Structure 1
Amino acid sequence: MLKIALVDDNTDFLLLLRKKVHAFFDGRNVLCEVRLFPNPEVFYFDLEEGFHYDICFLDIEMPQMNGLDLAKKIRATAQATYLVFTTSYLQYAVEGYEVQAFSYIPKNLLEEKLDAALLGIFGEMQEKTEKYYFVETNSRFERIEYKEIIYVYKNNKNAVFVLKDREVPVRKTLQEVFVQLDSEEFICIERGYIVNVQHIIKIESKELTLRNGKKLQIGRTHIREVKEAIHNYWRDRM
């Protein structure tokens, strides 16, 4: 879940901004918690207590505390936080480079500029979280997103990646592929198969069903391990 802080001494503007931020992420089925801070000092105390936010919208000119000072405080402990200044004072833009502000949104242009800023942030977040498996031979190079891999099976001396619309053979052992994937998204269900947990929709007795309709048998010695791996994977994402 994304944690988002909105800091501005104008309560009406905060309520409007919250509504638009929720609309953006709700439209993309992304859970987010949006907290409002009409008093920047309260937000400052949150930071002192160790609270972390993925995105912070900061007004610059506030009676109690300057938004740039807040941004410097955030940057002291959170380099990855996205900072967006919502302000009527664009003369501070140069100073914003010091704190690596992602965007400036003039308050009178919120309607036109907010979605573009959020799209930029959302796109960067997705790029940072995507994982890839690289297939390289003498004749080709291919990058396969982890989320595209449904399962991998052994076929003679090849490991074959099963994707939604095709299969990609790789001249490697299944064990080599499993080590290279190095992710809790993938589990061995028996000696000849690696499965992507994201694509499992049902387990019944010793059989699991994948999103593409494929049914695979779970090895007798792997049943408990498979169920625990699936439980742990989804528990950490609830």
Structure 2
Amino acid sequence: MFWEKSPTFERKRRTLKGVRENKVIERKITEEEQEAVQKEGIERNRWVSLGRIYRKIRQEDIVCIRKLKGAKYVEYVIKEERIRERISIALLLEELDKKRFLLVDRGHIVNLKYVTGIGKRSVYMEGGEEIPVSRSQMSCLKREIERYLREGRSRTFQVSREK
């Protein structure tokens, strides 16, 4: 039995071969370099594959990220639009800024910059998004928001008194 290579397969193989030849050497960033980057205000970006093109998304612009139920995709909510990418939540959490993003439920990550309020079992985001928060993560969310506000990134924030 012989397998025939399709032209599409050949194009993809050549593209991957080119990517492998131009490998980017990764290294760990030292604490001094990390502080310098934060002082300069350089934002970390996320490259998302949209078919054949890649789009750069600034982490600062991501309001929240949710895993679509029953799917292998995550959905980035960015102010006015939504973008889907096939990636696991665990891998995505490793790549995101840990001081800014927090996993609040099995399938939801929020950007603390866009949190406008906290309810009994949910968090309210800028733009009207309401995201469920697991009971185990609620105290962690409150603690992280306090830390975020203490670091000088203060903004109007409302805590619901529902019982």
What TM bracket, shorter-length normalisation?
0.5 to 0.7
* CA-CA distance at 1:222 after TM superposition: 0.6
Which protein is bigger by CA-based radius of gyration?
1
- Residue 47 of structure 2: which of 134, 139, 147 is its match? 134
* CA-CA distance at 1:131 after TM superposition: 2.2
* CA-CA distance at 1:237 after TM superposition: 1.8
Deviates further, 150-159 or 176-185: 176-185
Q: Counterpart of 2:83?
A: 168
Q: Counterpart of 2:115?
A: 200
Distance 1:215 1:138 in 2: 29
Moved over 3 A (4+): 125-128
Question: Identity across aligned pairs (percent)?
Answer: 22
**One-letter code aligned to 1:196:** N
Q: 1:127 to 1:159 in 2, by over 3 A?
A: farther
**One-letter code aligned to 1:160:** E
**One-letter code aligned to 2:122:** E
- Residue 60 of structure 2: which of 138, 141, 147 is its match? 147
Secondary structure of residue in 1 paired with 2:136: helix
TM superposition score normalised by structure 1: 0.45
Q: 1:131 to 1:154 in 2, by over 3 A?
A: same
Q: Counterpart of 1:77?
A: none
- Higher relative contact order (CA closer than 8 Å, sequence separation 6+): 2
- Residue 183 of structure 1: which of 83, 98, 103 is its match? 98
**One-letter code aligned to 1:219:** S
Is contact 1:158-1:173 (8 Å) kept? yes
Distance 2:128 2:138 in 1: 20
Distance 1:199 1:136 in 2: 24
> After the TM superposition, which residues 63-142 of structure 1 pair with which residues of structure 2 at under 5 Å, given as runs?
128-136=41-49, 139-142=52-55
* CA-CA distance at 1:189 after TM superposition: 0.6
**One-letter code aligned to 2:42:** T
Q: Counterpart of 2:131?
A: 216
* CA-CA distance at 1:181 after TM superposition: 0.8
Secondary structure of residue in 2 paired with 1:222: helix
Q: 1:138 to 1:216 in 2, by over 3 A?
A: closer
Give the gaps of 5 or more residues in structure 1: 1-124
Q: 1:211 to 1:126 in 2, by over 3 A?
A: farther
Is contact 1:159-1:177 (8 Å) kept? no
* CA-CA distance at 1:126 after TM superposition: 9.4
Distance 2:92 2:82 in 1: 15
| Structure number having the greater helix percentage | 1
Distance 1:189 1:129 in 2: 26
Q: 1:138 to 1:166 in 2, by over 3 A?
A: closer
Task: State the Cα RMSD in Å.
Answer: 2.0
TM superposition score normalised by structure 2: 0.64
